[in-house]
Structure 1
């Protein structure tokens, strides 16, 4: 499961009302009708206020009753506006220009100059006195962290309330509220509170979080959703050049990079926590880039940022997110150290960016306290446990939360628990939840047995023709200690049944000792990956593609049995020892895997029987997982490197196996986030087989004759165009995230993304393996020069489509060589 799939499924569920004491919203304009961005709007005689956005729009609410708001901005006369009722929306407020009383303040509209701008002069002092986060200024640190996560469904109107889909759930609208940032009505559907003790040691670069308590309601049995929400967030340092979320890097307005990215305006000055501070407003110089708009307050003596608000630009090239809003507050310990004490994050998800479209709020509030420094703990304290369910943390009493919350839940938040606990017991809600679950996972839940995946029901290839597949798995919960999966398939052309079955059992949670095994008999396109797969039921898209380039006439029948034992002695380090037995024979007419069985090369066989013993080491530093059953959910997919090392031994004496050999394989994959330049992925594969082996056991350089993207394949290569027993390959792909398209006026609004790629492979084959081959297939190898190809593409077409054009770089003299290929890929990406 990926995060985008969860989000898309949630959009299927809901749509929303609210009451607070005072609400006001509208737009601020000047006498000429131009909007006034970043104007101050406060309830009169209070400290409760907000700032109009770059379009002059604002929304403000309070749990107290007020009858007047005050609107001000330097260069304009301050204006009081009386409120006629408790809810005052769609106001249009006109400010009159006047000469500024502060000689040193200059008012800018549009792009601001970099020289002579007082806001930038202040910003330079911030850089010169750049703060260091307090937890990294000491050898050791510890603090408590209280985190509150919410998922809300927003934009309620009468059409939503009266929709038949909510029959039997009408009571939920009594719990709707108004969002303090956007002014939209919303209905909470999930809340999670957690309390952690955080320890760190900067001398050994270690950090550990101990969960003291966790409480949630709404989807409380779905840990995938909880991890999905938590997986969005990261720690932000506004002084760094980039702020990362959703695998995107946004330029920080406080960084030295900001001067080329943002316009800055000195807008106000006031006391903040008894410190005189300047207010600086910022907004992007260009549209469609990954930027914010907002303001921050800077102290006039320490030049430290005291508060900051950041709101993503509406035109920012990020999908499914209408707005991200961030607030942070800091305590400054001294002239060189600051500590964050409050962090608020809100994302407004939607299928489109229209202002009034419905969507989902994802909110996070973090409070920090009880900082302690330089209390050393032994290095063994930081060793991360492989198994750490912390069950007691999920069963804390109400008294525990009353004593340990760093801020009280308000009335509406307390009601969330009651409402959601009731909601999850209604039949109408559970019907909606089941639909979303099927869309997200591809499985239909059937009381301990899930049918699916439904997306694999239909397939096609030249041997089987149209193919139907039916399968399922056992599933009692995320932390099942055992699981069985299986399927059956039927090809209408070859009139044959195929099947696969596998099972795994978790014997020891602490070391994650797992035994697994399975058997599969099927028709498959071999040679679509260089590195061996350990999934007995795995089958590539090439085996069932409805549309192919050229003839797909090199399919094989495989009977594969596997047994393995694996364990995780250290966190994210897995050791797997396994054995397998394969029977491989041609499935396509005219395709041969034949090999000579005698030294005189007079006898041949076309069926390969092979026993193999393998040892596999896998290391995934930085990987985060959820659950502690036989299968775990990866929380931060595509964010951590993977190192895979395999040593396999082919044994001729076991079960009448045909060949002795040794095979060594290495795989390395590294995602790379390159600041404002986008996101890259680099993978390297290398391998060598010692011993003479036939075509069916050689390492085939993976081609791709489909029109769909397949990981680490070469789209301009045909199947079996190159075969090797020694190889080295590299794949590099980069997504610029629209950095250049955003500067082209005609393309800017499309939010397209530029893609480039490069792939190369070198390989060779021993004379012994050549001599035993009797297949008649040319055994070509890219041993003189590495084969290479490059690609350019456009991503984010209609937000879901990516198209790449691939160009062959050499070996054009190979018969039927393709110099050009097109592939497409569908998916939900931010």
Structure 2
């Protein structure tokens, strides 16, 4: 009996000892915020340490996280100019400890005598610059590309909120039905501000990287976002927001945010544009020594950051932690504040990888506005593995794939298990609140009105048919006079397979009706406006057109384009039947096969004449049948899909378009045999602090013999709007070529010059420089002056108005000012040659609406 009691007694003692040991080994996790005791504003770079042990520093929001497996029960917060504060904690538990630091009276009473002069900053013999150059030299060793294989789990969370919504507006009668939204406000994320969440999305992705041959693979395991219903393209909103707040890679020379490129503080050119100061030596949680480095722009108006980074001293010269923000003087329109916090973890080989990225931005219409938008994108990385080979088959196929077709319909239990961090109470309510909002009839009516104002289409008959576009209801031109037009199209609500589009128009001067009818059949049972496209379309059009005018993103009948300069009476009546097949692939490669039968009749002052047996013969119309094939490749292209068109979100990758067209004589009364090949390459070239250039190179060649109407009629512009892909001082149908090469250059300096002029920098204007060049001509077999079988170039009162390019190129250039009232650019344009042509303008002023951040 005693032996049993002894066993029990010693067993209990063993359990107590084991529990004590487990408790001593349990991890202590302390999270909290440090603020000023008086102003309640967060304090960054405050040291928070376990007493006698390791510590960390607060980020730009005054937040910190401490971890330890020891039994220390006291933590201390210290900051220069403030009294130290220590608090008791419970070892082995996760807890929240906040600090309010009071100003040190001794620091207040101290009198410092200083001079306004300070030592001139120099890079030479500067230990801070020497250190940052070592960081730059070691960048290749601290990037994932150093390893043969890398894989990790990535979790992304993107949230958008309204900041500081006035109580008067929130409690107004107009918003009485929406009070449930205003009850879900967050007052803890930003000190002194109230946030009303309106958008949330989450994504969980498995990432793989292979060095040789280099290939990446991203498998999306889960995706979740709020849904505003049919009036908003939710996928487009997601892509647009993620384009504005992209991944931050500090080891890249340029950091893309808000459609701009910000120079990294460890870029190769960083010592030229930044100033660096060594502040202190600190110890991180693992006991490693770090150099605390402060950096700031030499010119506070440039697209540069200021902040603090912590650099390792173990020979890696890696960034272990970085907190930075934008200067308030930076030339950005609506972005009022931008902060970036990056944390890195050490790999088994001693190198560091990014473990968490947090980007926060606040935007407002005006600088003094009380409210605005707040966006936050958090990306975290877990299960980081290096040099673990995977089968080559893993990397086959597209680089981005979805694990299944149901990744957006996963249960809450999946997200609770796989999120890298739990949602706050406010965040967790966003999904249900927006779902309730989308179902409200009043919200649907409001969105229908907003859609009509922005897209020009309005739904009728339950949403299965849309009437529009409104901008084309009315217009005018010299041939048709006043022109009224009414049309519309079906939507996916009527059918996801088959679509119809039509319009009818009438010109009161020529007294003729015009019309269009088209039908499209979707081959993948998806909307014909949703990527990837796969459809067959047939259409017939009887309408007018200006030769050589091909507009992007707008209707040619747009009312605002009715206002044109100079003589504008050269038109044609078109009867066009088109049949085309469009197929887009996930890798952004697309194919278009088409057939077109085109009969065009001259209108206005255009007359089709040619010489037959020495006599002038009038040709009533031209008929042609042609087949076409187009291949387009736009690597990693993203776009926002609107109601009428798709707006590309321009990135650093080029876009290639190759097109071949062949006219077949005798097919459906076609009169000519010819072939045309055209190649177009577009690219945005980022030049760091020098801004960026949009560059287009295009060339074409027409084989065979054809009248000038079937050659390349160069894109001219006689409106008062600046057009990027047209020649703004060229008259309609002024130049025709059967072989040509063009270069279009549009450079944005982003305020590089104006930011350095005291009075101008406050206006946040931006400089623009453009150049457009065509070099080409017409071979003798296609020149009507040398081939009498062809239709003659048009004339006005016997004076030629259409020409071929001779031995010299056509050149026009412009200088401009952008960001006027944050919405407009105005260009002063100069035409450099072919000034002898009749009725041309040598100088011109053109304006363009352009929205920039």
- Pair 1:655 & 2:678 matched: no
2-structure distance, mates of 1:736, 1:479: 47
1-structure distance, mates of 2:559, 2:173: 44
- Given that 1:714 and 1:759 are in contact with CA atoms closer than 8 Å, whether structure 2 keeps it comes out as yes
Q: 2:489 aligns with which of 458, 466, 473?
A: 473
1-structure distance, mates of 2:562, 2:103: 58
Q: CA deviation at 1:559?
A: 1.6
In the alignment, what sits opposite 1:9? none
- Given that 1:212 and 1:393 are in contact with CA atoms closer than 8 Å, whether structure 2 keeps it comes out as yes
In the alignment, what sits opposite 1:246? 258
Task: Classify the secondary structure of the residue corresponding to 2:344.
Answer: strand
In the alignment, what sits opposite 2:736? 723
> Superposition pairs for residues 117-266 of structure 1, below 5 Å?
119-130=128-139, 132-178=141-187, 180-181=189-190, 183-219=192-228, 222-266=234-278
In the alignment, what sits opposite 2:357? 343
In the alignment, what sits opposite 1:55? none
> What's the TM-score once normalised by structure 1's chain length?
0.84
Q: 1:794 aligns with which of 813, 817, 821?
A: 817
- Given that 1:25 and 1:60 are in contact with CA atoms closer than 8 Å, whether structure 2 keeps it comes out as no
2-structure distance, mates of 1:213, 1:184: 32
CA-based RMSD of the aligned residues comes to: 3.9
2-structure distance, mates of 1:313, 1:561: 57
> What's the TM-score once normalised by structure 2's chain length?
0.82
Task: Classify the secondary structure of the residue corresponding to 1:648.
Answer: strand
Q: 2:592 aligns with which of 571, 576, 592?
A: 576
In the alignment, what sits opposite 1:674? 687
Task: Classify the secondary structure of the residue corresponding to 2:444.
Answer: helix
- Pair 1:554 & 2:570 matched: yes
Do the aligned partners of residues 801 and 500 (structure 1) sit closer, same or farther apart at CA in structure 2, a change above 3 Å counting? same
2-structure distance, mates of 1:582, 1:260: 59
Structure number with larger C-alpha Rg: 2
Q: CA deviation at 1:236?
A: 2.5
2-structure distance, mates of 1:543, 1:455: 6
2-structure distance, mates of 1:405, 1:278: 33
- Given that 2:243 and 2:257 are in contact with CA atoms closer than 8 Å, whether structure 1 keeps it comes out as no
2-structure distance, mates of 1:538, 1:727: 26
Q: Any unmatched runs of 5+ in structure 1?
A: 1-19, 30-35, 53-57, 63-67, 101-106
Task: Classify the secondary structure of the residue corresponding to 1:223.
Answer: helix
1-structure distance, mates of 2:194, 2:104: 23
Q: CA deviation at 1:453?
A: 2.6
In the alignment, what sits opposite 1:646? 659
> Superposition pairs for residues 357-506 of structure 1, below 5 Å?
357-373=370-386, 374-378=388-392, 381-384=395-398, 390-446=404-460, 447-476=463-492, 480-506=496-522
In the alignment, what sits opposite 1:104? none
Q: CA deviation at 1:97?
A: 7.6
1-structure distance, mates of 2:561, 2:104: 60
After alignment, is 816-825 or 445-454 more displaced?
Answer: 445-454
Do the aligned partners of residues 567 and 582 (structure 1) sit closer, same or farther apart at CA in structure 2, a change above 3 Å counting? same
- Given that 2:240 and 2:639 are in contact with CA atoms closer than 8 Å, whether structure 1 keeps it comes out as no
> Superposition pairs for residues 705-720 of structure 1, below 5 Å?
705-720=718-733
Do the aligned partners of residues 685 and 26 (structure 1) sit closer, same or farther apart at CA in structure 2, a change above 3 Å counting? farther
Do the aligned partners of residues 93 and 247 (structure 1) sit closer, same or farther apart at CA in structure 2, a change above 3 Å counting? farther
Q: CA deviation at 1:681?
A: 1.4
Q: CA deviation at 1:434?
A: 3.3
- Pair 1:760 & 2:786 matched: no
Do the aligned partners of residues 436 and 276 (structure 1) sit closer, same or farther apart at CA in structure 2, a change above 3 Å counting? farther
- Given that 1:525 and 1:540 are in contact with CA atoms closer than 8 Å, whether structure 2 keeps it comes out as no
Do the aligned partners of residues 182 and 634 (structure 1) sit closer, same or farther apart at CA in structure 2, a change above 3 Å counting? farther
2-structure distance, mates of 1:25, 1:496: 76
Q: Any unmatched runs of 5+ in structure 2?
A: 1-30, 66-74, 88-96, 527-531
Task: Classify the secondary structure of the residue corresponding to 1:489.
Answer: strand
2-structure distance, mates of 1:494, 1:553: 13
* Structure having greater relative contact order (Cα 8 Å, sep ≥ 6): 1
Q: CA deviation at 1:664?
A: 1.9
> Superposition pairs for residues 269-280 of structure 1, below 5 Å?
269-274=281-286, 275-280=288-293
Q: CA deviation at 1:336?
A: 6.3
Task: Classify the secondary structure of the residue corresponding to 1:96.
Answer: helix
2-structure distance, mates of 1:432, 1:88: 46
Task: Classify the secondary structure of the residue corresponding to 1:711.
Answer: coil
Deviations 1:144-187 (A, max 9, x none): 11111111111123222223331201121221012634642111
Q: 1:332 aligns with which of 338, 346, 349?
A: 346
In the alignment, what sits opposite 1:823? 846
Q: CA deviation at 1:450?
A: 2.5
Do the aligned partners of residues 437 and 292 (structure 1) sit closer, same or farther apart at CA in structure 2, a change above 3 Å counting? farther
In the alignment, what sits opposite 1:7? none
After alignment, is 796-805 or 451-460 more displaced?
Answer: 451-460
In the alignment, what sits opposite 2:548? 527
Deviations 1:69-124 (A, max 9, x none): 97733xx4647799xxx9999x9999538699xxxxxx998985545655445434
2-structure distance, mates of 1:729, 1:254: 38
Do the aligned partners of residues 454 and 112 (structure 1) sit closer, same or farther apart at CA in structure 2, a change above 3 Å counting? farther
Task: Classify the secondary structure of the residue corresponding to 1:702.
Answer: coil
Do the aligned partners of residues 755 and 495 (structure 1) sit closer, same or farther apart at CA in structure 2, a change above 3 Å counting? same
Q: CA deviation at 1:755?
A: 0.9
Q: 2:626 aligns with which of 612, 632, 649?
A: 612
- Given that 1:40 and 1:51 are in contact with CA atoms closer than 8 Å, whether structure 2 keeps it comes out as yes
Deviations 1:523-551 (A, max 9, x none): 2211125xxx9x9x985479962332211
Do the aligned partners of residues 272 and 436 (structure 1) sit closer, same or farther apart at CA in structure 2, a change above 3 Å counting? farther
- Pair 1:592 & 2:607 matched: yes
- Pair 1:72 & 2:79 matched: yes
> Superposition pairs for residues 105-116 of structure 1, below 5 Å?
112-114=121-123
1-structure distance, mates of 2:638, 2:339: 26
2-structure distance, mates of 1:48, 1:160: 42
Name the count of aligned residue pairs.
Answer: 775
In the alignment, what sits opposite 1:774? 792
Do the aligned partners of residues 317 and 762 (structure 1) sit closer, same or farther apart at CA in structure 2, a change above 3 Å counting? same
- Given that 1:704 and 1:719 are in contact with CA atoms closer than 8 Å, whether structure 2 keeps it comes out as yes
After alignment, is 629-638 or 214-223 more displaced?
Answer: 629-638
- Given that 2:480 and 2:511 are in contact with CA atoms closer than 8 Å, whether structure 1 keeps it comes out as yes
Q: 1:805 aligns with which of 828, 834, 839?
A: 828
2-structure distance, mates of 1:296, 1:61: 15
Do the aligned partners of residues 157 and 816 (structure 1) sit closer, same or farther apart at CA in structure 2, a change above 3 Å counting? closer
Q: CA deviation at 1:228?
A: 2.0
In the alignment, what sits opposite 2:16? none
Task: Classify the secondary structure of the residue corresponding to 2:669.
Answer: coil
Task: Classify the secondary structure of the residue corresponding to 1:422.
Answer: helix
Deviations 1:774-830 (A, max 9, x none): 354334212211111221111111111111111112222222232112211102123
Q: CA deviation at 1:667?
A: 1.8
Task: Classify the secondary structure of the residue corresponding to 2:804.
Answer: coil
2-structure distance, mates of 1:109, 1:26: 32
- Given that 1:486 and 1:501 are in contact with CA atoms closer than 8 Å, whether structure 2 keeps it comes out as yes
Do the aligned partners of residues 442 and 143 (structure 1) sit closer, same or farther apart at CA in structure 2, a change above 3 Å counting? farther
